Amino acid sequence: MLNQREHEKNAGKGEDRIISFLTERKGRGYTPEEIMGGLHIDVDFSNPETSKMSTFSIAEFIALIYDMVRKEKVEMTFVDGRMYLMAIEASAKCPKCGIKVAAPKKKWEMIGRPDNKGKRMQLVIGIFKCPKHGTFRAVLSKQKI
């Protein structure tokens, strides 16, 4: 049986795999079944023994997804009664430890000084809170205007 630390470590790996899957496919929502298929999490209901194990796997996966939504690591929406998950686009890594923080506490637009050709950069900046190191700023997007 896994102790609490090993359980959290394994859950973190699962979260990373789900976030990676959704981030690589930005702009679309995916059902939990599609994510499980994309991550090669196989379920088998052909006999009672594997059926019990598959049911447990699905329940753990759904619990992990709801935990990720609660932590604002993924976004959940319902369309025609079906659950779809999407990556939260505004995220940044802590400069000290590299932990990915999903949602900014605050974000704003800022227009920079013109470059030598007279073009200005429009920046979207966010303030994020790392659980270990506190707040930090990150540029979410840059666009020449």
What ranges do the domains of the chain cover? 4-87, 92-144
- The predicted-structure confidence for 120-129, as pLDDT tens digits, reads as follows 888 889 898 8
Please, which residues bridge with residue 100 across strands?
93
The C-alpha atoms of residue 76 and residue 102 are separated, in whole angstroms, by 14
Do 92 and 99 touch, CB atoms closer than 8 A? no
Q: Does domain 4-87 have CATH number 2.70.180.20?
A: no
What is the Cα 31 distance to its own chain's centre?
14
- The predicted-structure confidence for 2-37, as pLDDT tens digits, reads as follows 455 554 555 567 888 888 888 788 778 899 889 988
The C-alpha atoms of residue 48 and residue 104 are separated, in whole angstroms, by 46
pLDDT value, residue 135: 92
- In 3-state terms the chain splits into helix, strand, coil percentages (rounded to 5) of 35, 30, 35
In terms of phi and psi (left: phi > 0; alpha: psi -120 to 50; beta: otherwise), the region of 52 is alpha
pLDDT value, residue 7: 47
Tokens 């699905």 found at: 58
How much is the pTM? 0.53
**What is the token pair recorded at 2?**
């896994």
For the chain, what percent of residues have pLDDT higher than 70? 90
> Taken in order 6, 8, 11, 15, is the CA torsion positive or negative?
negative
